[in-house]
Amino acid sequence: MEAKKLNLTLNIWRQKNSKSVGSFAEYKVQVSPDASFLEMLDELNNTLELKGEEAIHFESDCREGICGTCGLVINGHAHGPLPKIATCQLHMRNFKDGETIWVEPFRAKAFPVIKDLMVDRSGFDVILQAGGYVSINTGGVPDGNAIPIQKEVSSLAMDAAACIGCGACVASCKNASAMLFVSAKVSQYALLPQGQPERYRRVERMVKVMDDLGFGSCTNTYACEAECPKGISVTNIARMNRDFMMAKIKSKEVEV
Amino acid sequence: MFEIYETITGENPYKSPMMIYPAPHYTMGGLWVDYNLMSNVPGLFVLGEANFSDHGANRLGASALMQGLADGYFVIPYTMGNYLAGDKPTLVKTDHPEFEKVAKEVKDLTNKLLSIKGKRTVDDLHKQLGRIMWDNVGMGRNEAGLKKTIEQIRQVKEEFWKNVTIPGSGDDVNQTLERAGRLVDYFELGELMALDALDRKESCGGHFREEYQFEDGEAKRDDENYSYVAAWEFAGENKWNLHKEELKYEYVKQAIRSYK
């Protein structure tokens, strides 16, 4: 049996490009509670296009919560009100009939709006290019049991590597800081043997690029962890800060 | 997994039975490449599931990871270096005649798409194509269905070029235009999939031709005539040339696969 449709008022941010001034536009929609948030936007776009209006631009790819492409600020929360999910995994049954929903792009100086709800997150790629890799040749693949890594350590590295780089941490931080993202990337290498040779060089370079791109500083409010769809822990930030301090003592490089 | 299920369906799988249904997941096959993973365009390498090399008639679970890792770790670091060593990269300018030709083609296509200004959305037509593929080019296929499908796809394609509406312009980001371009490709891919399925008069893996089965419903292969990979070369609209890449088994003996 088809569930009763919800009547919703959507206030969606419309902005022609990075240079123009944006504003909210109001749309009334009727949607099935089983629809996902993005499916609702697809339907709305279909009706807009039929009227000859431009579609609301937003990004998505896998729609399975694993790629990190989607990202909307819904009622003030990055990826919507539910914890530990990406926008694509948010379903309309979590909203009430007659509710008004506010939809905005991820807002940060380092994430300029491209159009409507679509932002340019290529800054994250630039940060990764500065150190998100292992450039030493580790030879062939050894037997898994031959690498003595404690379970606790490998688990921490895997938890850090769960970051999908969506940028929700930046969007939810009052300073638009990218510390959670960068620290997750730094940690996933710093915890494992393969990451050791470049450990201190890596953290210095990535932090430098992060600062240069205009991401803010961390003031330990932990909004990032609360909104992160993958539940990345702020203890990664502590680890990165520790490595960064050590790098200042150990690193041979003065500046990159 | 149970958590994911609950997020999507809103039902607790520990309390109510799970709803399971088939869904289109991936297409088998991909772009033709040589042993170095280079396509028929020199210098254009195709990695992971975008190429055809590792899928057989079946695509097994986790193929995406496996092929991405295998191609990325074990093949491309050696073959691409080999290609680059024999190539002297020079500065390519945008006034190169080939560049100008392609740029004009893209501009013309964009203008053509934007000028149709019909009454149906890209999404609507995309769903119609999806429905056609779902009905007749799923796991089970038959000659009549496939022939009908090819006709239907050509009809939707015609409808698309006459009656699609794409708001916005081609001067800035336009996701509707992007989707339209992709749908144009899907018409081609869908038709080719149907054509290939029609051409292969046997059942194997994910391709079950209803006419070719044993009495108990098991897939009936025809190794004598169809033990090859079909590589279709694009030869203009609605035209493809078939190249057969023979499958030679030296150590393994071909046999009927039975799950019984």
Q: What is the DSSP string of A13-45?
A: EE-SSTTSPPEEEEEEEEE-TTSBHHHHHHHHH
What would the two tokens of residue A222 be?
A: 């932990």
Residue B185 — pLDDT band, cuts 50, 70, 90? very high
Beta-bridge partners for B209? B141
Q: Which of residues 91-120 of A touch B (CB under 8 A)?
A: 91, 93, 114-115, 118
Distance CA A82, CA A71 (A): 13
Distances (CA, A) of A223 to A110, A219, B223: 18, 10, 61
Q: Is the pLDDT of residue B17 over 80?
A: yes
A230 touches chain B (CB under 8 A): no
Residue B203 — pLDDT band, cuts 50, 70, 90? very high
Other CB atoms within a 10 A radius of the CB of residue A101 amount to 19
The whole-number pLDDT of residue B28 equals 84
CB-CB under 8 Å, B10 with A54: no
Residue A140 — pLDDT band, cuts 50, 70, 90? confident
What would the two tokens of residue B242 be?
A: 């078939």
Instruction: Measure CB to CB from residue B165 to each of A16, A49, A118 and give the nearest one.
Output: A49
The whole-number pLDDT of residue B45 equals 97
| Per-residue pLDDT reduced to its tens digit, B59-104 | 777 788 889 999 998 999 999 999 999 988 888 889 989 999 999 9
Q: How far is A249 from chain B (nearest CA, A)?
A: 35
Q: Helix crossing, B143-163 with B122-136: angle to 10°? A: 170
- Which chain A positions have a beta carbon within 8 Å of B174's beta carbon? 54
Residue B215 — pLDDT band, cuts 50, 70, 90? very high
Instruction: Measure CB to CB from residue A89 to each of B7, B123, B165 and give the nearest one.
Output: B7
CB-CB under 8 Å, A53 with B167: yes
Residue A2 — pLDDT band, cuts 50, 70, 90? low
Q: For residue B172, give the chain A residue with the closest CA.
A: A17
The whole-number pLDDT of residue B1 equals 82
| More confident: B45 or A141 | B45
Other CB atoms within a 10 A radius of the CB of residue B259 amount to 4
The whole-number pLDDT of residue A255 equals 54
- Which chain B positions have a beta carbon within 8 Å of A33's beta carbon? 10
CB-CB under 8 Å, A45 with B172: no
- Which chain B positions have a beta carbon within 8 Å of A79's beta carbon? none
Mean of pLDDT values over A209-233:
96
The whole-number pLDDT of residue A254 equals 54
Backbone dihedral region for residue A73 (phi beyond 0: left; psi -120 to 50: alpha; all else: beta): beta
Instruction: Measure CB to CB from residue A49 to each of B7, B121, B172 and give the nearest one.
Output: B121
| Per-residue pLDDT reduced to its tens digit, A26-74 | 999 999 999 999 999 999 999 999 999 999 999 999 998 889 999 999 9
CB-CB under 8 Å, B168 with A55: yes
Q: Which of residues 128-167 of A touch B (CB under 8 A)?
A: none
Cβ atoms of A45 and A53 within 8 Å: the answer is no
The whole-number pLDDT of residue A253 equals 61
DSSP state of A115: E
The whole-number pLDDT of residue B61 equals 75
A20 touches chain B (CB under 8 A): no
Distance CA B123, CA A189 (A): 42
Assign B182 to helix, strand or coil: helix
The whole-number pLDDT of residue B159 equals 98
Lowest mean pLDDT among A143-157, A190-204, B216-230: A143-157
Q: Cα B174 to chain center, whole Å?
A: 24
Q: How far is A247 from chain B (nearest CA, A)?
A: 31
- Which chain A positions have a beta carbon within 8 Å of B10's beta carbon? 33-34, 91, 93
Beta-bridge partners for B167? none
Q: For residue A115, give the chain B residue with the closest CA.
A: B173
Q: How far is A252 from chain B (nearest CA, A)?
A: 30
CB-CB under 8 Å, B174 with A52: no
- Which chain A positions have a beta carbon within 8 Å of B124's beta carbon? 46
The whole-number pLDDT of residue B256 equals 84
Q: Is the pLDDT of residue A132 over 80?
A: yes
Distance CA B71, CA B193 (A): 25
